[in-house]
Amino acid sequence: MNNRVYIFDTTLRDGEQVPGCQLNTIEKIEVARKLEALGVDVIEAGFPISSPGDFKSVVEISKAVCEPVICALTRAVEKDIEVAADSLKYARRKRIHTGIGTSPYHIYNKLKSTPEEIIERAKAAVKYAKKYVEDVEFYAEDAGRSENEFLAKVVEAVIAAGATVVNIPDTTGYCLPEEYGAKIKYLCEHVSNIDKAILSTHCHNDLGMATANSLSGLINGARQVEVTMNGIGERAGNTSLEEIVMILKCRSHLNLQTAIQTEHIYETSRLVSRLMRMPVQSNKAIVGRNAFAHSSGIHQDGVLKSRENYEIIDPKDVGINESTIVLTARSGRAALKHHMDLLNIELDNDELNEVYDKFLKLADSKKDITDDDLYILAGVKRAHLNRNIKLEHLQVVCGQSTIPMATVTLNIEGESFTSSATGNGPINAAFSAVKQLIQKKVNLEEFLIQAITRGSNDLGKVHIQVENKGSIYYGFSANTDIVTASVEAFLDAISKIR
Ligand code: KIV
Ligand code: ZN
């Protein structure tokens, strides 16, 4: 059996179904181009019959992207298929993804149909799609809860009708990895024409098993895996692209290969998170902020001796510059010395021991040990940097038919400085004013505002990442006023610049 695994990315279709994550066409093109650079094989660009916006996005993505197959979703309905075919007219390589429910729930409760009729409708949809495109993928919705014997009949019928790929979705995220793998194995062994099509996995994460199920499907014979960046998707999400790809890369004994350029993973993850306003949880595998951060003394010492002691992936493989050694009360001398070296502070053994004792006391009472703290602990005076920057005053003017403007007063090392700037919104204007005062070239890399609850009187939490001379600095603040929270988070990040 061929060992190449095709990556079918559905961030722009299943991923985009998440409430509040909708993208406009320009943003979708940006994501699609990034997915192309990442090396995905198929981009599911939308569900064209569902809205004029989705139709337009499929059209524009088809024009903007050359290498991957562009895929459009339909129900097993002629009109859907016609509209999908029309939306794909500019695609260099195109696929229609059509299908129908095959579980007892879908057949009897949702579609009010019979198994025999489902097989006929499935065949008819594939044959109809074949009139427009050569490459037709069929999905057996809720295959995870479908009977294997019936599923095999459906799969055989759609392959005979011309399906090139057959998708076996665990739509409700119900299967156990063994069950899902056994289902794929059963189909490989009981569908007489299975060699004429590729089986695809499409797993949802309702019980946290999407990645395990997809992997089990691949091990048992599927050769396409349907995924989203950061695992976003309906409810608890879909299988995450970065997890599957890195499992296959890391566990090479599985002998399954993708064409993904893994060093683009992190920036693709950031882009999707930023455009969809969907923060990535800190402990998310592969792309979470803490995925390569070490905080306990034993681990830090181990990583500093040799990265492989506590890391199974080189962060550079996914596009992250280096592992992070976070200073906490559990850090050891090795971690403290590592940070002092980064700050060019030389300490002999006695000095290090002395500073380490002071550091432990401080770390017990302070959550976040900054570079400033280290300078003070080591008794180093720093003259000119943007330390101790405080927001003294912030005033914004904005509203309909007004050019947003902000006036900011910062207290830098005890002295007050004021500046005003305009922008495309109050936050943008305030950031421009801050930039004029701090005289440092900083690029905003990531900016996320989160509400803690859903109330309008809620605290806004702002996470920011800025770039300066190739290094990334993180800032955070929370305030009921989101412009103030944004400026404070911006200053928090800036104040960490070495
Ligand atoms: O989860 C699912 O069943 C789907 C299909 C429409 C492919 O997303
Ligand atoms: Zn789905």
Task: Give the pLDDT band (50/70/90) at residue 384.
Answer: very low
Q: Are 37 and 3 in contact (CB under 8 A)?
A: no
Distance (Å) from CA 46 to ligand 2 centroid? 12
Task: Give the pLDDT band (50/70/90) at residue 451.
Answer: low
Residue 131's φ and ψ, nearest 5 degrees, are -65, -25
Task: Choose which residue among 16, 49, 50, 73 to substitute to test ligand 1 binding: the one with the highest number of ligand atoms within 8 A of its C-beta.
Answer: 73
Q: Is the pLDDT of residue 387 over 60?
A: no
Query: pLDDT per residue over 55-82, tens digit each?
Result: 999 999 999 999 999 999 999 999 999 9
378 and 405 part of one domain: no
Query: pLDDT per residue over 13-53, tens digit each?
Result: 999 989 888 999 999 999 999 999 999 999 999 999 999 99
91 and 226 part of one domain: yes
87 and 68 part of one domain: yes
Q: What pLDDT is attached to residue 87?
A: 98
| pTM for this model (two decimals) | 0.80
Distance (Å) from CA 238 to ligand 2 centroid? 7
Number of domains in the chain: 3
71 and 146 part of one domain: yes
11 and 86 part of one domain: yes
Q: Quick one: which atom of ligand 1 is closest to the CA of 13? A: 8
Q: Quick one: which atom of ligand 1 is closest to the CA of 167? A: 7
Q: Give the chain's mean pLDDT.
A: 92
Structure tokens at 246: 């890195």
Residue 280 contacts by C-beta under 8 Å, 6 or more apart in sequence? Answer: 230, 269, 273, 287, 288, 289
Residue predicted with more confidence, 147 or 498: 147
- For atom 1 of ligand 1, the residue with the nearest CA is 171
Q: Is the pLDDT of residue 263 over 90?
A: yes
Task: Choose which residue among 8, 11, 139 to substitute to test ligand 1 binding: the one with the highest number of ligand atoms within 8 A of its C-beta.
Answer: 139
Residue 216 contacts by C-beta under 8 Å, 6 or more apart in sequence? Answer: 177, 178, 180, 181, 184
Average pLDDT, stretch 136-145? Answer: 98
Q: Is residue 318 part of a domain?
A: yes
Beta bridge partners of 200: 167, 224
Average pLDDT, stretch 340-350? Answer: 90
**Torsion from C-alpha of 35, 461, 466, 288, nearest 10 degrees:** -50
269 and 332 part of one domain: no
Domain holding 378, by residue range, is 293-384
Distance (Å) from CA 213 to ligand 2 centroid? 14
Residue predicted with more confidence, 378 or 137: 137
Distance (Å) from CA 271 to ligand 2 centroid? 22
Q: Is the pLDDT of residue 372 over 80?
A: no
Q: Is the pLDDT of residue 470 over 80?
A: no
Q: What pLDDT is attached to residue 455?
A: 61
Q: Is residue 280 part of a domain?
A: no
Distance (Å) from CA 9 to ligand 1 centroid? 13
Query: pLDDT per residue over 284-331, tens digit each?
Result: 999 999 999 998 889 999 999 999 999 999 999 999 988 889 999 989
Q: Is residue 218 part of a domain?
A: yes
Protein residues whose CB sits closer than 6 Å to any atom of ligand 1: 14, 139, 141, 167, 169, 171, 202, 204
398 and 379 part of one domain: no
- Percentage of residues in the chain with pLDDT exceeding 70? 97
Q: Is the pLDDT of residue 386 over 60?
A: no
Q: What pLDDT is attached to residue 477?
A: 79
Collapse the DSSP code of 16 into the 3-class scheme (helix H, G, I; strand E, B; otherwise coil) and give the result: helix
Helix (H) or strand (E) holding 97: strand 94-101
Q: Is residue 285 part of a domain?
A: no
Q: Is the pLDDT of residue 105 over 80?
A: yes
Q: Is residue 304 part of a domain?
A: yes
Q: What pLDDT is attached to residue 281?
A: 93
Report how far residue 276's alpha carbon sits from residue 365's, in angstroms, rounded to the nearest whole number. 37
Distance (Å) from CA 171 to ligand 1 centroid? 6
Task: Choose which residue among 10, 167, 200, 205 to substitute to test ligand 1 binding: the one with the highest number of ligand atoms within 8 A of its C-beta.
Answer: 167
Report how far residue 179's alpha carbon sits from residue 211's, in angstroms, rounded to the nearest whole number. 14
44 and 122 part of one domain: yes
CATH number for the domain spanning 468: value is 3.30.160.270
